[in-house]
Structure 1
Amino acid sequence: MTNNKQSRKIHFTKMHGAGNDYIYVNTIEYPISDPARAAIAWSDRHKGIGSDGLVLIGTPSTPDADFSMRIFNADGSEAMMCGNASRCIGKYLFECGWTDKTEIKLETLSGIKTLQLHIEGKVVTSVTVDMLEPVLENDAQFIPTRCSGNGTFVSMGNPHYVIFTDDVDQVGERGHVLEHHPAFPQRCNIEFARVEADGSIRTRVWERGSGITQACGTGACATAVAAVLTGRAPRISLIVMDGGTLTIEWRESDNHVYMTGPATFVFEGEIEYENDH
């Protein structure tokens, strides 16, 4: 029996947005034939690189976008969108010389997102992402809008269930249970949030397919929207997560949610990848 597998080295970049860390591969240069398998192996924090998942940067399928993003969670499942990852991609593309644009159109599975890069010299200090309009009603993918826990359902291109509580640390106990609740056939991201005396919103996140993460961009957006809907906060909020703080604005003029926050390079390297032929 012939072994049709061939090993090659893949260059990767490790980045994080507010502690939400991913492995980034530029598939324009390094194609990945089985990203789900790679995500599982490389995300392992003991036997791999270690991350919340794998992000692929590529060419878009439409002339309306400049680049594309695909994201695979640590368990190999594909996510529709990641706000922290999109900010990191903006920094990567500009600082690594793939574009000189300060406004980038990024194709994702949940639509084209606009990245506004904030530049000092040649360094991207922060990125604002137009996350488009939140979805609050039932649709074919996200059923229902309510389940146990007195939470609020918000889709930011991926499903979130936000629970306001004094005990945000119950994320470890209840996150997995709620992610797999029968009310969410596609599973769900879960946020436990508390409004602080200074008006900021302390939030802990259980990400679908990854578990507890340091931060979640779409989760921060969903939390801010849920806070407005329940009368807990104005339309601009500071969302304080384990790994850092994001500024979220749910703009009344266009109903879009805008997320602003940092992106950080951690390290880069090469890893063996076994390709099927």
Structure 2
Amino acid sequence: MIWNFTKMHGAGNDFVVLDGVRAAIEMTPERARAIAHRHFGIGCDQILLVDTPSHPEADFRYRIFNADGSEVEHCGNGARCFVKFVHEQKLSARNPLRAEIATGLITLEAKQNGEVEVEMGQTRFDPEALPFDPDGLETRSLNNDTLYGLPIGEQTVWLSLVAISNPHAVQVVDDVDHAPVATIGPAIESHPRFARRVNAGFMQIIDRHTIHLRVYERGAGETLACGTGACAAVAAGIRRGLLDSPVRVRTHGGWLSIAWDGKALRMTGPAVTVFSGSIDIDKLLASIPT
């Protein structure tokens, strides 16, 4: 079975994008893992599947699969690539677009400078939204935010909880380039208090309108950028009283711009097409070592 694909990235967060509108694409965890494999497959952080919507107000539906095969609710960098893909593939000329994701509808608009702005949807801060079990944990109030002290080994990590469809746990660090992302990140991501795992964000405050950020993502590990992670970090920083909107976010893959007025949260950033090709998904699956 031959599938056509497009390789894309948003600030280095890379995707394999598939057109499920014009061809039947049945994605499985095994197929997602094979496509995402960086040695035996195409290689990517996530797979995006563009499909016909079920919601009457949506132009398209898109689904996101992590490199480990798990399906997730949202992807900010992927959302921008989705818009560029739909326009380049001439699936639609509409701008803005309305997209159906697992948790509702989002609005996306291609800008004349080549960047894409995404209205990110509902933002919540209650533990139940992630979901997260806070029972018995120490908490601290900081301005409008509540920090939860999560024991990791012999230390306590103080986290802001943010749900932007995806669950995020954000901590502030002094130097993000030397933060223990590779060790503390997976410990937070898979902590049993997070029922569906979590994206672990490490934020360094540069000034009231600038942060540096690294994110250890569910099912993908550390990526060069995380769109929903950038939004979560900015929202947490504003609630803590450390930031003012708008905020520029430096990731290892580039810069994102986040604006939040306490209600509507908007992200703007690049979306780049790298190359297109085709792959025999059955042969690919057969070639992956077990």
TM-score normalised by L of structure 2: 0.87
- Tell me what 2:275 maps to: 267
Whether the aligned pair in 2 keeps the contact of 1:35 and 1:72 (CA below 8 Å) is no
- Tell me what 2:288 maps to: none
Q: Tell me, what secondary structure is at the counterpart of 1:159?
A: strand
Cα distance between partner residues in 1 of 2:210 and 2:60: 34
Q: Tell me, what secondary structure is at the counterpart of 1:192?
A: strand
- Tell me what 1:135 maps to: 124
Q: How much has 1:12 moved relative to structure 2? A: 0.2
- Tell me what 2:185 maps to: 175
Q: How much has 1:100 moved relative to structure 2? A: 1.2
Cα distance between partner residues in 1 of 2:208 and 2:241: 16
Are 1:157 and 2:165 counterparts?
Answer: yes
Q: How much has 1:166 moved relative to structure 2? A: 1.1
Unaligned runs of 5+ in 1: 1-7
Are 1:26 and 2:19 counterparts?
Answer: yes
Q: Percent identity?
A: 38
- Tell me what 1:38 maps to: 31
Whether the aligned pair in 1 keeps the contact of 2:130 and 2:168 (CA below 8 Å) is no
- Which residue among 31, 35, 52 is the counterpart of 1:59? 52
* Pairs aligned (count): 263
Distance 1:237 1:144, change over 3 A: farther
Q: Tell me, what secondary structure is at the counterpart of 1:274?
A: helix
Give the CA RMSD over aligned residues: 1.7
Distance 1:166 1:87, change over 3 A: same
Cα distance between partner residues in 2 of 1:48 and 1:132: 33
Whether the aligned pair in 1 keeps the contact of 2:186 and 2:216 (CA below 8 Å) is yes
Are 1:250 and 2:243 counterparts?
Answer: no
Distance 1:140 1:153, change over 3 A: closer
- Tell me what 1:79 maps to: 72
Whether the aligned pair in 1 keeps the contact of 2:208 and 2:247 (CA below 8 Å) is no
Whether the aligned pair in 2 keeps the contact of 1:119 and 1:126 (CA below 8 Å) is yes
Are 1:236 and 2:236 counterparts?
Answer: no
Whether the aligned pair in 1 keeps the contact of 2:11 and 2:270 (CA below 8 Å) is yes
Deviating above 6 A after TM superposition, structure 1's stretches of 4 or more consecutive aligned residues are: none
Distance 1:37 1:30, change over 3 A: farther
- Which residue among 89, 94, 101 is the counterpart of 2:87? 94
TM-score normalised by L of structure 1: 0.91
Cα distance between partner residues in 1 of 2:259 and 2:103: 19
Cα distance between partner residues in 2 of 1:83 and 1:209: 16
Map 1:138-217; keep pairs closer than 5 Å.
138-139=127-128, 141-144=130-133, 146-148=148-150, 149-168=157-176, 169-197=179-207, 199-217=209-227
Q: Tell me, what secondary structure is at the counterpart of 1:115?
A: strand
Cα distance between partner residues in 2 of 1:236 and 1:197: 12
Q: How much has 1:197 moved relative to structure 2? A: 4.5
Q: Tell me, what secondary structure is at the counterpart of 1:162?
A: strand
